[in-house]
Structure 1
Amino acid sequence: MSEVNEEKKVYSLDFNYLYGKPVCQARFKQHCEDFVVEEKLGFELTGEGEHVCLWIKKIGENTDYLARQLAKFAGIMAKNVSYAGLKDRQAETYQWFSLYIPGKVTPDFSQFEAEGVTILKVIRHNKKLRTGCLEGNYFNITLREVSDKPALQLVLDKVQQGVPNYFGNQRFGYNGHNVNAAVQLFNGRRVKDRFKRGMYLSAARSYLFNRVISERIKDNLESTAMLGDCVQFVANRSFFPLPDLSTQTLQRLTDREVCLTAPLWGKGELTSTDQAQQYELACLQEFADLQQGLAKEGLKQERRPLLLIPDAFSYKWLDDETVSIAFYLPSGCYATSIIRELVEINV
Structure 2
Amino acid sequence: MSSMLEERAQPRAGPLAGSGTIRAAVADFVVDEHIEMDDDSGGEHLWLRVRKAGENTDHVASLLARAAGIRVRDVGYAGRKDRHALTTQWFSLHLPGRADPCFDGLPPSVEVLETRRRRRKLAIGGLRANRFRIAVRDFTGERSLLDRRLAELAVHGAPNHFGVQRFGRGGNNLALAHDWFAGTRRVADRKLRGLLLSTARAAIFNAVLAERVGDGSWCTACAGDALMPDGRGSYFPAPEIDATLAARVRAGELHPTGPLWGAGDSPAGGAIAELERAAAGRLPDLAQGLADAGLRQERRALRVLPRDLAWEWIGETGVVLSFGLPPGCYATTLLAEVLVCHDAAGAG
TM-score of the pair, normalised by structure 1? 0.92
| 1:43-77 deviation per Cα after TM superposition (whole angstroms, max 9, x unaligned) | 24633111111111111112111111111111111
- Residue 249 of structure 1, CA deviation: 2.7
Distance 1:77 1:45 in 2: 27
1:78 aligns with 2:72: yes
1:128 aligns with 2:121: yes
RMSD: 1.8
SS in structure 2 of the partner of residue 40 of structure 1: strand
SS in structure 2 of the partner of residue 99 of structure 1: strand
Give 2:98's match in structure 1, choosing from 96, 104, 113: 104
Corresponding residue number in structure 1 for 2:82: 88
Conservation of the 8 A alpha-carbon contact between 1:211 and 1:283: yes
- Residue 342 of structure 1, CA deviation: 2.2
Corresponding residue number in structure 2 for 1:225: 221
Evaluate the alpha carbon distance shift between residue 344 and residue 289 of structure 1 in structure 2; reply closer, same or farther with a 3 A threshold: same
Conservation of the 8 A alpha-carbon contact between 2:34 and 2:129: yes
Distance 2:39 2:83 in 1: 26
| Aligned positions, number | 335
Of 279-288 and 159-168, deviating more is 279-288
Ranges of 4+ aligned residues in structure 1 off by more than 4 Å: none
Evaluate the alpha carbon distance shift between residue 257 and residue 155 of structure 1 in structure 2; reply closer, same or farther with a 3 A threshold: closer
Distance 1:241 1:129 in 2: 33
- Residue 115 of structure 1, CA deviation: 2.3
Conservation of the 8 A alpha-carbon contact between 1:13 and 1:169: no
Distance 1:58 1:120 in 2: 10
Evaluate the alpha carbon distance shift between residue 137 and residue 176 of structure 1 in structure 2; reply closer, same or farther with a 3 A threshold: same
Corresponding residue number in structure 2 for 1:315: 311
1:326 aligns with 2:322: yes
| 1:255-287 deviation per Cα after TM superposition (whole angstroms, max 9, x unaligned) | 333210011101111110112111211233211
Distance 1:83 1:235 in 2: 20
Counterparts of 1:144-159 in structure 2, within 5 Å, are: 144-148=137-141, 149-159=143-153
1:39 aligns with 2:33: yes
1:166 aligns with 2:161: yes
SS in structure 2 of the partner of residue 157 of structure 1: helix
Gaps of 5+ in 1: 1-10
Counterparts of 1:3-42 in structure 2, within 5 Å, are: 14-20=9-15, 22-42=16-36
Conservation of the 8 A alpha-carbon contact between 2:75 and 2:92: yes
Corresponding residue number in structure 1 for 2:175: 180
Conservation of the 8 A alpha-carbon contact between 2:7 and 2:163: no
Counterparts of 1:198-277 in structure 2, within 5 Å, are: 198-234=194-230, 236-277=232-273
Corresponding residue number in structure 2 for 1:56: 50
The letter for the 2-side match of 1:15 is Q
Conservation of the 8 A alpha-carbon contact between 2:63 and 2:106: no
Corresponding residue number in structure 2 for 1:8: none
| 1:114-168 deviation per Cα after TM superposition (whole angstroms, max 9, x unaligned) | 1211111011111101112111111111101111223322322222121110111
Distance 2:195 2:181 in 1: 13
Give 1:143's match in structure 2, choosing from 132, 136, 139: 136
Evaluate the alpha carbon distance shift between residue 135 and residue 12 of structure 1 in structure 2; reply closer, same or farther with a 3 A threshold: closer
The letter for the 2-side match of 1:264 is L
Evaluate the alpha carbon distance shift between residue 343 and residue 197 of structure 1 in structure 2; reply closer, same or farther with a 3 A threshold: same
Conservation of the 8 A alpha-carbon contact between 2:228 and 2:236: yes
Sequence identity (%): 38
Gaps of 5+ in 2: 1-5
SS in structure 2 of the partner of residue 284 of structure 1: helix
Evaluate the alpha carbon distance shift between residue 265 and residue 155 of structure 1 in structure 2; reply closer, same or farther with a 3 A threshold: same
Evaluate the alpha carbon distance shift between residue 281 and residue 23 of structure 1 in structure 2; reply closer, same or farther with a 3 A threshold: same
Evaluate the alpha carbon distance shift between residue 12 and residue 292 of structure 1 in structure 2; reply closer, same or farther with a 3 A threshold: farther
Counterparts of 1:109-120 in structure 2, within 5 Å, are: 109=103, 111-120=104-113
